[in-house]
Amino acid sequence: MNPLRSRPKLCTAIAAEDTAKMSRKAERALSLGSDLVEFRLDSLNVVRPEIVIHSLSKLADRCVLTLRARSEGGNFKGSDSSRIRLLLKVSELEPAYTDVELETARKFQPEMEQLRANSGKVIISWHDFESTPSASRLLNVFRKARSLGDIAKEVTTARSVEDNALVLSLYKYSKRGDLIAFCMGDHGVLSRIMCLFAGSPFTYASLPDEAVAPGQLSIETMKGILNAIS
C-alpha cells in the first residue's frame, strides 16, 4: 500500500514578533492547505503565556508548540529553566504537539511529565546544523529521544545527496508515526518529501517566501509535488 494514500500531512512553521501576526499567518497557512502549524514562540518579542493562550488556543488541536534556545537555532535569550517554565505554562492550551530539544528534555525530566500531560504528543528534537553524522550516531540519538517522548525528530544538514539515504535509513528502526527525520539544505530537499513514504507523521513546509530553515519548500510547492507522486 502506498503510504501517501493515507493523505500526507504538512506542518508550517510560523514565526512572528507578536501573537496577532502569528495567528494571522497560521490562518493563512491552513487556508493554503497546511494541516498543522508550528508556533515558533521564540520569535515573539516577549513570551507572555496568558496572551499566547488567549490568542492561539483556537488552533490548539492543529498546532505544534516550540520555544527554541539560540543554541538550537532559535531566538530565545533567557535561561533554559525560564524557557521550560514558559513552555509549561503555554502548554496549558493543550496543543496537539509540543516540541522540546533532546538535551532540554534530559535536563528537565520532571517538567517533561507535566508537558506530556498537557500535550497530545511530545516531540523530542535534535538538530545538526553543520553536517550529517554517522548512522550509529543517528541511531543512538533516535533511541534516546524516543525514550523521552512520543516522537523522535532528527534533522541534520545534508552536505551531499547521499546524506538523504543515511537519514532516511533511520526509519527501519522506527514504528510508523514515531519518527520525523530529514535533512536541511539544498541537498536535503529529497528527504523532506521521502520521509512521508518512510513513516513520518508529517513533514514541514513554509508560507511563500518565509522559509525558516534551509531547503524548506513552500506549502504550494510541497502540495504540488505530493499530488504528482501520490
pLDDT tens for each residue of 67-103: 998 888 889 988 999 999 999 999 999 999 999 999 9
Q: Which residues contact 152 (CB under 8 A, 6 or more apart)?
A: 123, 124, 126, 141, 142, 145, 146, 174, 178, 179, 180, 181
pLDDT of res. 84: 95
- Cβ-contact 219, 32 below 8 angstroms: yes
Query: 137 or 8, which is more confident?
Result: 137
What the block records as the C-alpha cell of 9 is: 500531512
- Please report, for residues 73, 83, 107, 188, the alpha-carbon distance to residue 162 in angstroms, rounded to integers and kept in the order given: 24, 36, 33, 9
What the block records as the C-alpha cell of 79 is: 535561561
Q: Give pTM, 2 decimals.
A: 0.94
pLDDT of res. 99: 97
What the block records as the C-alpha cell of 113 is: 511529565
Query: Residue 16, CB half-sphere, CA atoms under 13 Å: how many?
Result: 19
**Active-site residue set:** 127, 153
Is a pLDDT exceeding 50 seen at residue 4?
Answer: no
Per-residue pLDDT tens digits for 101-110: 999 999 999 9
User: What is the Cα–Cα distance from 39 to 98, expressed in whole angstroms?
Assistant: 10
